[in-house]
């Protein structure tokens, strides 16, 4: 089987049902961002040392495929994802973190930095799904899930910095 089909050479691609859309369509932008986030999560998994975090991140990657498939289907598709699992993980991690007193700048350890990259891609993915929902019916759990997921990446970044004995860099207000 050839990896290239040449069917997208003129700027269109197929959805799950076989219909064709422009490669700059918001639907494609949304599920393409799912793939991008999954790729960054893979990079995070390759660098993170905690086996429980690796397992949880692998589950999130699987969820990205579910979400991507739902978004690549032009008719409403229920997405079997659980934002509550992410909330539980956020709560578990937050119990180990010191309280926040200021805004945190992305950075620190490699793992924390990658987690921040995942967080920002996740936020963009969420914005894409909000835009798509203006013109197409999508499962509202997707936006809820992505909103929680970006919070998860934030607390995971904090945890990674603590485990790596890296000081969190905080925003220093300098504008007048």
* Local structure of 10: helix, strand or coil: coil
Residuewise pLDDT in 10s, the chain (176 residues): 777 777 666 776 777 777 777 777 898 999 999 999 999 999 999 999 999 999 999 999 999 999 999 999 988 889 999 899 999 999 999 999 999 888 888 999 999 999 999 999 999 999 999 999 999 999 999 999 999 999 999 999 999 999 999 988 888 776 56
Cα–Cα nearest to 149, from 66, 68, 88: 88
**Dihedrals phi, psi of 144, to nearest 5 degrees:** -60, -50
Cα–Cα nearest to 90, from 41, 36, 145: 145
- pTM comes to 0.91
Helices (H), the chain: 26-47, 51-71, 83-94, 110-133, 140-163
């Amino acid at each position: 089987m050839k990896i290239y089909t040449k069917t997208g050479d003129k700027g269109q691609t197929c959805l799950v049902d076989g219909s064709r859309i422009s490669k700059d369509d918001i639907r494609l932008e949304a599920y393409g961002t799912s793939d991008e986030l999954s790729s960054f999560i893979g990079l995070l998994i390759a660098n993170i040392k905690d086996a429980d975090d690796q397992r949880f991140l692998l589950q999130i990657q699987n969820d990205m495929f579910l979400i991507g498939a739902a978004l690549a289907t032009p008719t409403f598709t229920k997405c079997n994802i659980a934002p509550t699992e992410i909330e539980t993980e956020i709560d578990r991690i937050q119990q180990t973190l010191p309280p926040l007193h200021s805004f945190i700048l992305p950075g620190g350890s490699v793992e924390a930095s990658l987690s921040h990259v995942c967080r920002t891609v996740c936020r963009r993915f969420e914005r894409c799904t909000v835009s798509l929902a203006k013109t197409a019916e999508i499962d509202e759990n997707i936006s809820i899930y992505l909103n929680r997921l970006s919070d998860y990446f934030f607390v995971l970044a904090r945890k990674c910095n603590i485990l790596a004995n890296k000081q969190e860099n905080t925003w220093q207000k300098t504008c007048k």
